[in-house]
Amino acid sequence: MQRFIIFLLLCSAIPAFSQSFFQKNGALQVKGIQLCNESGKPVQLKGFSTSGLMHYPQCITYDALKSIRDFWGGTVVRAAMYVADYGNKRDYNLDPQFNKTIIDSVVCWSERLGIYCIIDWHILRIGDPNDREYAGAATFFDEMSKKYASKKHVLYEICNEPSGSGIGWDTIAFYANRIIPIIHKNAPGAVILIGTPNWCQNLNQVDPSKLIDRKNVMYTFHFYAATHNYLFPIFFEHIHRIPVFITEWGPCESSGNGVVNFPTAEKFADAMRMHILNGDTVRISWCNYSYVDKNETSASLQPESCTNCQWDNMTPTGFFVREYMKKK
């Protein structure tokens, strides 16, 4: 009996196993306008987007993602896979295997760390998601959603920043109606993120009724505080109309450089934390752009930080983002 009591005392001294963020929340779902966990409770993801996978691969390592979780307080990472950026010889169209290998690592590492992962089909310079430069989208998402069908921590962003004259919601919906059924055939419960017109700014143009499949679908919004303070009215109104996920934002100019505007960024960030309109409360999930050591104001890390594995070597942007990432 005495030995049994000693055993119980020893066991009580062992710290309880700490569940990861993913273990606490499980497979995500969209209910109304809110991203929710497996139990249907509202959840807010906060984390980083990478820069282009081929631009700064030294910033995409297991230790980097572990730092996003442990030092920064992040719960999601967005793997920004540039599809057609011919200034670099390793975009997806020129080197698909290189990019898919990095995506596989990010999916694996994020699962191990218990955080969520967004696979981003990153269209950019050509703003029409239906353009022939992006003809590989259907094959890519078929492959990804089959490969990761059992990975409940994976979300799919099917077109970053649609833009250009004539590229409105009808054009985007036409594309989405091709891609969403492919993903949901392989991974029926997956959360899918759709880019919105004019560089993911015109939430007011989104008409969900034009989508064939609206299950677990969200609409992306991007802002850069030093450029986009005029977007407050659209943002505040439409986050209470449709489910929104901010997959890119920063306190700088939309170029990723230039001056910063922390007061405007703070106003957006406070609204993302919780916004109430006419008694309706919503929390917006987000990824800051970006977790990189590039010499520009959008970067959260000082130059050479990734090369030297200095994951806490923050820029002024980094200090600001970390404060909000850690806020409950």
Residues 140-164: tens digit of each pLDDT: 999 999 999 999 999 999 999 999 9
Binned at pLDDT 50, 70 and 90, residue 87 comes out as: confident
Residue from 111, 133, 237, 248 carrying the catalytic annotation: 248
Cα distance between residue 183 and residue 298, in whole Å: 32
Task: Tell me the residue range of the domain where 151 lies.
Answer: 39-326
> Which pLDDT value is given to residue 232?
94
pLDDT over 50 (residue 251) = yes
Interval 199-211: pLDDT, tens: 999 999 999 999 9
Predicted confidence band of residue 303 (pLDDT cuts 50, 70, 90): very high
pLDDT score of 101 more than 80: yes
Span 285-314, average pLDDT: 98
Per-residue confidence band for 85, with pLDDT thresholds at 50, 70 and 90? confident
Q: Tokens standing for 1?
A: 């009996």
The total domain count for the chain is 1
Rounded to two decimals, the pTM is 0.94
Render pLDDT for 21-32 as a digit per residue (tens, 0 to 9). Answer: 999 999 999 999
Section 28-39 average pLDDT: 98
In this predicted structure, what is the pLDDT of residue 17? Answer: 52
The DSSP code sequence of 180-211 is HHHHHHHSTT--EEE--HHHHT-GGG--GGG-
> Which of 86-90, 188-192, 257-261 is predicted with the least confidence, judged by mean pLDDT?
86-90
Whether 4 has a pLDDT exceeding 50, the answer reads: no
Decide: 60 and 50 in contact? Cβ < 8 Å: yes
Q: What is the pLDDT of residue 2?
A: 41
State the residue for tokens 């966990």: 37
What is the structure's pLDDT at 3? 39
Do residues 172 and 197 touch, judged by C-beta distance below 8 A?
A: yes
Look at residue 6 and tell me if it is in a domain: no
What's the rounded Cα separation, in Å, for the pair 192 and 174?
Answer: 15
Residue 237 among the catalytic residues: no
With CA atoms as reference, report the closest residue to 103 among 129, 65, 47, 159.
65
pLDDT over 90 at 73, yes or no: yes
Residue 152 domain flag: yes
* For residue 241, pLDDT beyond 90: yes
What end-to-end distance do the CA atoms of the chain give, in Å?
A: 45
Q: Is residue 5 part of a domain?
A: no
> What is the mean pLDDT of the segment spanning 88-98?
93
Burial class (CB in 10 A: 0-12, 13-18, 19+), 319: exposed
* H or E element that contains 236: helix 232-238
What is the torsion angle, in degrees rounded to the nearest 10, for the CA atoms of residue 140, residue 58, residue 295 and residue 107? 40
The amino acid at residue 299 is: A
pLDDT interval class at 13 (50, 70, 90): very low
What average pLDDT does this structure show over 256-270?
97
The DSSP output letter for 314 is: B
Looking at residue 18, its pLDDT comes to 82
pLDDT of residue 172: 98
Task: Say if residue 267's pLDDT is above 80.
Answer: yes
Contact 247, 78 (CB under 8 A): yes
Question: Of 132, 141, 51, 118, which is closest to residue 90 (Cα–Cα)?
Answer: 51
Q: Are 53 and 43 in contact (CB under 8 A)?
A: no
Q: What is the pLDDT of residue 257?
A: 96
In this predicted structure, the answer to whether residue 86 has a pLDDT above a threshold of 90 is no
Whether 27 is in a domain gets the answer no
pLDDT beyond 60 at 15: no
- Whether 103 contacts 79, CB under 8 Å: yes
d(CA 291, CA 317): 10
Measured from the Cβ of residue 49, the count of other Cβ atoms closer than 10 Å reads 26
Per the CB < 8 A criterion, the answer to whether 293 and 304 are in contact is yes
| Burial track 100-110 (b if 16+ CB lie within 10 A, e otherwise) | bebbebbbebb
Active site residue 304: no
In a domain, 175, yes or no: yes
User: Which residues are registered as beta bridge partners of 64?
Assistant: none
CATH of the domain at 266: 3.20.20.80
Residue of 111, 157, 161, 253 with catalytic role: 161
pLDDT at 11 over 80: no
In this structure, is residue 21 part of a structural domain? no
Gap between the Cα atoms of 296 and 224, Å rounded:
14
Is position 161 within any domain? yes
Q: Interhelix angle for 96-113 vs 137-147, to 10°? A: 30
> Is residue 8's pLDDT more than 80?
no
Distance between CA atoms of 173 and 210, rounded to whole angstroms? 6
Q: Is residue 156 part of a domain?
A: yes
Average pLDDT across the chain, whole number: 94
Rounded average pLDDT over 107-113: 98
d(CA 44, CA 41): 10
